[in-house]
Homo-oligomer: A and B are copies of this chain.
Amino acid sequence: MTDAFFSTAEEPAGKTSQTPAIGRPTEEELRQGIELLFFAYRDFTADPDSILEELGFGRAHHRVIHFLGRNPEITIGDLLVLLRITKQSLNRVLRALLAGGFVGQRTGTRDRRQRHLYLTESGAALEARLSMPQKDRVSKAFVEAGPNAVAGFKKVLAALLDPQERDRVLKAINRP
């Protein structure tokens, strides 16, 4: 079996590599999609790294900052669910951000065990600075590819999400 998974000669002559109108995508097309996603995501994530390095932060800090920007007053527990990491992993990152004055926390009023996190002014400034190159890249890509392509891009990415959580995630992304 599998003597050449990515072999060039896997399709009979006469057929092309195009997606059939209704059937399953070809092996070739799937592989291309997978690799494209890999490379595009790699370039996409490479953008903010140099800024983070200046501050001695890593991508974990970036993620926290991003989601805090999007979800002000989120509790630790909810942030853990969102990031899908452990409390201990978050802790180190969060401590650094608190110490650096990028993030603040307030004790919950309804439940005083909870800590509500938020970006400080400098935290928000950092968020803006970090997201700038990514927004720039995505913006250029959207403009270049055109609105129709962008719609397809979003549609496919949405379909790639875990079906179980798709609605939840899309709702979170798409809220006003």
Contacts and interface: CB of A to CB of B under 8 A. Distances in A.
A110 B21 CA distance: 46
Interface in A1-60: 1-3, 5-8, 10, 18-19, 21, 24-25, 27, 29-37, 39-44, 46
Contact of A135 (B7, B34, B121): B34
B153 A156 contact: yes
Interface stretch (A86-94, A96-104, A126-134): A126-134
Contacts of A70: 6, 31, 35
The contact size tier of chain A is 35 or more
Interface of A is mostly: helix
A172 to B, nearest CB: 8
Copies of this chain, how many?
2
A148 interface: yes
A81 interface: no
B156 A141 contact: yes
Contacts of A139: 24-25, 30
23 contacts: A2-B121, A5-B124, A5-B155, A6-B70, A8-B176, A18-B147, A19-B142, A25-B139, A27-B135, A30-B142, A31-B131, A33-B138, A33-B154, A37-B138, A42-B84, A43-B160, A145-B158, A148-B148, A150-B156, A153-B153, A153-B155, A153-B156, A153-B157
